[in-house]
Structure 1
Amino acid sequence: MTQLKGKHVVIGLGKTGLSCARFLTRLGCDVVVIDTRNEPPGKTDLVSELPHVPLLTGDLKQFDLTSAQELIVSPGISIRSAAIKKAINAGVPIAGDVELFARSVAAPVIAVTGSNGKSTVVTLVGKALEAAGYEVCVAGNIGLPVLDALSSAEEVDVWVLELSSFQLETTQSLRAKVAVNLNVSEDHMDRYDSLDDYAMAKQRIFEGCESAVYWLDDHRTKPIHAIGAMRPFGGSKVVHGRFHVETFQTVPETNYIMDGSKKVMSVEDLKLSGAHNWLNIAAVLAILTEFGVDYQSCLETLKQYPGLRHRCQWVANIHGVNWYNDSKGTNVGAAISAITGLAGMVTGKLIWLAGGEGKGADFSELVQPVAAAVGLAILYGKDAEVLSSALQGEVSVEKVETLQQAVLLAKRHAEAGDVVLLSPACASFDQFKNYEDRGEQFIKLVKREASDHE
C-alpha cells in the first residue's frame, strides 16, 4: 500500500501507459505502474528502459489509490471502476496521456473525435496542412501516442490529434484551436450507460476551444455550450453548412463537394470511395478553413489520397466480384457508413460479412440500411447470434464460426457484379489481436482465393 503514497501512478501499461511512464520519468516524477494483467503488453520495454519504475500487477481493489499524488489512467481502463472512483472522491487528481500532453505543448492543436471517420479525417488534415507548408504531427488514437510524439518531434507548427471518448474522459486542459466532432453512434456501450452518456464524453473535446466543427445532421455532435466560432458541415440541399455534399441531376447524376453554392470538386475526382468519405472531405475543408488555411492549395492532395488501410479498402476483383476490407468498422455506425457508402457502386448484390464482439451495442439501427442494401449477410464470431436476431426477417442470413468460413461461403454465393464487404460492426478480440490483425487475415484469405483462380 505504501508503494503508491505521493507517487504518480500509471494505471494500465501497454503502448499508452509506457509512453506516460517514459514522459513522467523524464520530468523527474516518482512513477509506479499498475496493470491488472500479470504479463501486460509493454512489460519487457518497461523493465529494459525504466528498470527503477516498479510494475505492480493484480486487481485494482487491492491497491490504496487514495494515497497517490496523481492517477494517470490508460484509455483501456474505465475511470468508473470502484478503486478509481474511490480515489477521485478522495481528491486524487486524474489525468491521461492527452492531458499530460496538453499541459506541455505550445503549438496549436486540431483535435478530432467521432465514432467513425476520425482516422481518415486527421490523416487528410495532416497531409493537407503539409501541402500548405506546415510542419505537422498527426498523433493520438490513430496509433502514435501523443507523449511519444511530443518527445520525438522537433519543430511542429500544428498538432493534429485523433481522440477517443476514453482519452477525453481524462483530459481537462486541451484548449484546441479547432475542435471537431464528426458523428456519434453507438460504440463502447459496455463502458457507457447510454448513447447520451457516450456523447457527453465526446463533448469534452470542445472545452476551451477557439472554434468548433460539427456535423449538422447529428445533434449530438453540436457543442452544448456556446463557443466563439461554430462551423457545421454537411446537411441537406435546403439546410446545410458551408461545406457539404450536393447531388446534381445531370446525366449521369453527379455529386459535388460544395463551398456554399460553389462547386469545389466532383466526387469523381476523388480516389476515396463512398458517400461517408465525401462527407469526410467536407469536414476537412471546414477544419482547414477554421484553421486559417486556403484549402485551394490542398485540393490536389485531397483528390489523390487513396484511403486508410482497413477502412473501405479495396482488396481484389475475382471474376468480377469486388472485395472490400472495412475491418476498422468496429461499431454499428461504421458498418452503416460502409454499407450505405458502397451501396450505390454495386451492380449486383452486396454480400456483407460481420460479427465479433458486440461490446453491448444495439444492433437494431442496422436493420433499415441492411434491408435496403444487403443481399446476403454472413455472420461469424462471438455475437453472430445476437446480430442475427436483430436482422431476423429483414435480410437473408447465414451463420458460420470463423471469418475464414465466412470468406469461403461468400465466394460460393458471389457472382460477377457483386461486392463482398467485411465491415464487422463489432470488435475483433474474440478471434483476433485487433482490427488490424483481422483485416490482414481477411486480405490474406481473399488474396489466396484470387491466386487459386489464376
Structure 2
Amino acid sequence: MGSQEVSTVDWQGKHVTVAGLGVSGIPAARALHERGALVTVVNDGDDERARAQAAELEALGVTVRLGDGATLPPSTELVVTAPGWQPDKPLFAAAAEAGVDIWGDVELAWRLRGTNGREPAPWLAVTGTNGKTTTVRMLASILQAAGLRTAAVGNIGVSLLDAVLGDEEYDVLAVELSSYQLHWAPSLRAHSAAVLNLAPDHLDWHGSMEAYAADKGRVYEGNTVACVYNAADPATEDLVREADVEEGCRAIGFTLGAPGPSQLGVVDGILVDRAFVKNRQKQAQELAEVSDVNPPAPHNIANALAAAALARAFGVEPAAVRDGLRAFRPDAHRIEHVADIAEVAYVDDSKATNTHATEASLAAYDSIVWIAGGLAKGATFDELVTGAAKRLRGVVLMGADRALIHEALTRHAPEVPVVDLDRTDTGAMSEAVEQAARLARPGDTVLLAPACASMDMFTNYVKRGEAFADAVRARAGTSA
C-alpha cells in the first residue's frame, strides 16, 4: 500500500476481537463498533476499573469478556491488540492457527485514515530506544512554527485513532512509535521516519535483540522521502539498508560532528543541513544554534537534529526549524534543572530508566554526584560505569537492585565514594538528596538518572522524579 492510499475495509458485520481494555483498546472498540463491526473485547483483568469500562462499552452494544484474554472468541475474523500484549499470548497463537490477522492500534489507525471523508495527513514517524517523545515534540514544535496544522501523537499519549478520526484537520502528524506498536503494524507506510538509536530494551517482550531491532526497522518500510538514521549508531543505518522503500527515498544521517553530504550535523556551535540543499557536496544550510536547543546536552542536540531532518524532509524552511526549537520546552523529568543550591546544580532525569538513557545523561555533565538504582530489568552496568567513571564525584544508590550497580562501581571505579541506602521506602529519596549534597562540591551536578525502572519504590518514573524535586526544593528552602 502506497503512502497516501486509503484502505477500504467493509466493517459491516465483521467479527473483530479487541485484545485489552485501556488507552488503545477502548477507542478501537468504539471506532469499529461505529463502523458496523461485531466487536468482542477480551481482557485478562477483572477488577473494578475494568468492570466500569466494560459497562460503558456494553451499553453501546459491544461484547466484553473479562478475566479471559487467552481464548479466541468463535467466528473471529480479525484481532486488534493493545501494544503491550506479548506476541507469545495463547490468543495470538490461536489466531495464527486459524489464519486470522492480528493488527495493533497503529495498524488500525493507519487503515482507518480517510474513512471520515478527510484527506489523510502524512505521518512523520520516530522510534528508537531513547529520545522518542522529546524528538516528536520538537518535531511538532518545528512544524507548528512553519504554520502547519499538526499534533504529536501515538505512543506519546494522544491516541492515533483520535487523531485520524477526529474533527480536527491536520497537514501532517508527528508520530511516536514504540517497538510494540511497530510489531503489529505491517502495512504502515510513513512519509519519512527516524530510528534515533538502538540499545537492548524490552528483550523479554521481543525475545532477542535481533527481533527488537527488526521491529524498530519496520518504521522505514515504504518510506517515500527520507529514512533518517543516527551516524553514531551503525545499527540504525543497517536498518535503512535492509528496508524496502519507495523509489527515490533517501538515507539521511545526523551526527554531532561536522556533517558529510546527505547529513545534518554541528559546525562551530551551529546546527547545519547538508542533505536538503541544492548542492550538498559543497553547500550547507544553517538551521539553528546549539544554544537554541533546550537543554543543549549532547543527546538532546541529536534529538533536535533528527527532528530537523524529518521537518526538512517535509519541506520546512530553515527559519521554522530555529523558531520551533527555540519554542520547545522539554517534558518534566527529562534532564530537568530543579534548582541550584550552594553552587551545585540539581537535575532530574528520572525518565532515564535504562542504561542507554543514563549514559547519555551522564555524558552531559563534567562532575557528577549520581543518584541511581531501582529495578534493573536484567540490565548490566559495567559498560555504563566504565564510561562515566572519570565524571563521578560520588554515587548514592537506592532501590531493589542497587547492589548490581555497586558491584560494577567496585570493579571499574573503586576510588569513587558510594553511599548505599539500605531502604526502599519512598522517603529514601530525601535521604538520597541529603547524602548527595554532602558529597557534592561547588560546580558539581547532582543527577538523578537511575538507569533502572521505578516500580520497586514508586508508581512510575514521574512519581520518582517528583519525590526528587520535592526533596531538592525542601533543601533549597532550608538553605535559603
Q: TM-score, length-normalised on structure 2?
A: 0.84
Letter in 1 for 2:467: Q
Residue in structure 2 matched with residue 189 of structure 1 by the alignment: 203
Given candidates 371, 381, 397, the residue that maps to 1:363 is: 381
Query: Of residues 57, 61, 64 in structure 1, which corresponds to 2:66?
Result: 57
1:112 aligns with 2:126: yes
CA-to-partner distance for each residue in 1:382-440, whole Å, 9 max, x for gaps? 22222333333323333223451322322332232221111122222222222222222
Q: Is the 8 A contact 1:15 1:42 kept in 2?
A: no
Who is 2:235 aligned against? 220
Summarize the Cα distance change of 1:86–1:48 in structure 2 as closer, same or farther, 3 Å threshold: closer
Residues 333-372 of structure 1: matches in 2 within 5 Å? Answer: 333-340=356-363, 342-343=364-365, 346=366, 349-372=367-390
Query: Is 1:71 paired with 2:79?
Result: yes
Alignment of 1:46-445 (within 5 A): 46-48=54-56, 50-51=58-59, 52-58=61-67, 60-61=69-70, 63-64=71-72, 67-105=75-113, 106-210=120-224, 211-222=226-237, 223=240, 224-227=242-245, 228-234=249-255, 236-237=257-258, 241-246=262-267, 248=268, 255-260=269-274, 261=284, 263-340=286-363, 342-343=364-365, 346=366, 349-395=367-413, 396=416, 397-400=418-421, 401-402=423-424, 403-404=428-429, 405-445=431-471
Tell me how far apart the structure 2 counterparts of residues 35 and 118 of structure 1 sit (CA, whole Å). 28
Note the alpha carbon deviations across 1:313-337, whole angstroms, 9 max, x for none.
Answer: 1111122221111111122111111
Note the residue ranges of structure 2 that are not aligned, 5 or more in a row.
Answer: 1-12, 114-119, 275-283
- The code of the aligned residue for 1:442 comes to F
Q: Is 1:447 matched with 2:473?
A: yes
Deviates more, 1:298-307 or 1:167-176: 298-307
Distance in 1 of aligned mates of 2:339 and 2:111: 46
- The answer (yes or no) to whether the contact 2:380–2:404 under 8 Å persists in 1 is no
TM (normalized to structure 1)?
A: 0.89
- Counterpart AA for 1:200: A
- 1:84 and 1:77 map into 2 onto residues whose CA distance is 9
Q: Which amino acid aligns with 1:109?
A: W
Equivalent residue of 1:101, what SS?
helix
**CA offsets per residue over residues 122-179 of structure 1, 9 Å max, x none?**
1111111111111102111111121133343411111111000001011022210011
Residue 31 of structure 1 deviates from its aligned partner by 1.8
Give the Cα–Cα distance (whole angstroms) in 2 for the partners of residues 355 and 387 of structure 1. Answer: 7
CA distance 1:352–1:293, change in 2 (3 Å): same
Provide the C-alpha distance between the structure 2 equivalents of 1:178 and 1:285, rounded to a whole number of angstroms.
12
* Unaligned segments of structure 1, at least 5 residues: 249-254
CA distance in 1, matches of 2:345, 2:58: 49
- In structure 2, distance between residues paired with 1:414 and 1:373: 12
Cα 1:265–1:70, aligned 2, differ >3 Å: closer, same or farther?
same
| Matched-pair contact (CA < 8 Å) for 1:13–1:42 | yes
By how many angstroms is 1:30 displaced?
A: 1.8
TM-superposed deviation, 1:381: 1.7
> Are 2:27 and 1:12 equivalent residues in the alignment?
no
Distance (Å, rounded) in 1 between the aligned partners of 2:227 and 2:395 = 38
Give the letter for the 1:267 counterpart. Answer: V
Q: Decide which moves more: 386-395 or 10-19.
A: 386-395
Following superposition, the deviation at residue 113 of structure 1 comes to 0.4
**What is the alpha-carbon distance in structure 1 between the residues aligned to residue 286 and residue 326 of structure 2?**
14
RMSD of aligned residue pairs (Cα, Å): 2.4
Total equivalences in the alignment: 437
Partner amino acid, structure 2, of 1:184: L
Flag the 1:153–1:355 CA change in 2: closer, same or farther, 3 A: farther
Instruction: Kindly state the Cα deviation for residue 218 of structure 1 after the two structures are TM-superposed.
Output: 1.2
Deviation at 1:239, TM superposition (A): 5.3
Report the secondary structure of 2:147's partner residue: coil
The CA distance in 1 between the partners of 2:68 and 2:373, in whole Å, is 30
| Aligned counterparts of 1:208 and 1:290: Cα–Cα separation in 2 | 15
CA distance in 2, matches of 1:292, 1:417: 43
The whole-number CA distance in structure 1 between the counterparts of 2:87 and 2:396 is 36
- Please give the alpha-carbon distance, in whole angstroms, between the structure 1 residues aligned to 2:411 and 2:446: 21
CA deviation map 1:180-215 (0-9, x unaligned) = 111111211222333222111101111111121111
2:287–2:318 CA contact under 8 A, matched in 1: no
